[in-house]
């Protein structure tokens, strides 16, 4: 009986095989749980055919979007983000919503190790009304099963217009003045 090892690179592989039914197993798939390969059988019957298989991972990635791009920054309160290829052109899976704590959670992602991380790419699609999105595609190196990353969303600057007039002579514009606006929000 025939026995083939088929190498998969970037999702595809090929092999000339004798007709028949086969048991299929994954013997190498870094970042993924090899026991989740599906299906586990394959029948070769037609002249040229394609066998489609899937495999699953069990890592969890949390991406926190905030005003500093680091732990502890003021988070945004809504938005959306999606997994993509390195160019950002191809989206993978569903769009994930950012919650009121600035967190987007991606379950079942592949991961490697600290020495050999599994690189994933993401693109932020929207932020809340007071913040700007992170414009570029960003990469995350998954080096452990559970991981948190921080992404910067700057506050939006909105043009404000002010008038200063004489309190005792209605409508008389004040010729020359400087007003100071200090934030009353607590830092950190």
**Binding region for another protein (CB under 8 A):** 1-32, 36-38, 41-42, 44-57, 83, 92-93, 107-110
CB of 177 to another protein, least distance (A): 58
Backbone angles phi, psi at 120, to 5 degrees: -120, 155
* Contact yes or no for 106/57 (Cβ under 8 A): no
What is the rounded CA–CA span in Å between residue 143 and residue 113?
A: 4
- Pull the structure tokens for residue 82: 């999606």
- Pull the structure tokens for residue 156: 């939006």
Radius of gyration of the chain (CA): 27
CB of 61 to another protein, least distance (A): 11
Neighbours of 159 (CB within 10 A): 4
Q: Which of 154, 149, 148 is nearest to 138 (CA)?
A: 149
| Closest to another protein by CB, 8 or 70 | 8
* Contact yes or no for 151/68 (Cβ under 8 A): no
CB of 74 to another protein, least distance (A): 30
| Closest to another protein by CB, 41 or 101 | 41
What is the rounded CA–CA span in Å between residue 182 and residue 159?
A: 16
The gap from C-alpha 102 to its chain's centroid, in whole angstroms, comes to 13
CB of 20 to another protein, least distance (A): 4
CB of 45 to another protein, least distance (A): 8
| Closest to another protein by CB, 18 or 115 | 18
CB of 91 to another protein, least distance (A): 9
């Amino acid at each position: 009986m025939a026995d083939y090892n088929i190498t998969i690179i970037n999702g595809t592989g090929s092999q000339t095989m004798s007709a028949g039914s086969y048991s299929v197993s994954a013997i190498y798939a870094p970042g993924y749980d090899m026991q989740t390969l599906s299906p586990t059988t394959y029948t070769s019957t037609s002249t040229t055919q394609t066998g489609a298989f899937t495999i699953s991972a069990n890592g969890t990635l949390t991406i926190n979007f905030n005003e500093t791009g680091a732990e502890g920054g003021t988070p945004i309160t809504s938005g959306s983000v999606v997994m993509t290829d390195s160019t950002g052109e191809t989206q993978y899976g569903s769009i994930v919503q950012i919650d009121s704590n600035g967190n987007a959670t991606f379950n079942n992602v592949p991961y490697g190790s600290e020495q050999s991380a599994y690189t994933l790419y993401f693109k932020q699609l929207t932020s809340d009304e007071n913040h700007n999105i992170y414009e570029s595609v960003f990469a995350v190196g998954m080096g452990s099963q559970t991981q948190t990353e921080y992404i910067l969303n700057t506050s939006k600057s909105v043009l404000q217009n002010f008038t200063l007039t004489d309190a005792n002579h209605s409508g008389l514009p004040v010729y020359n003045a400087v007003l100071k606006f200090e934030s009353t929000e607590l830092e950190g």
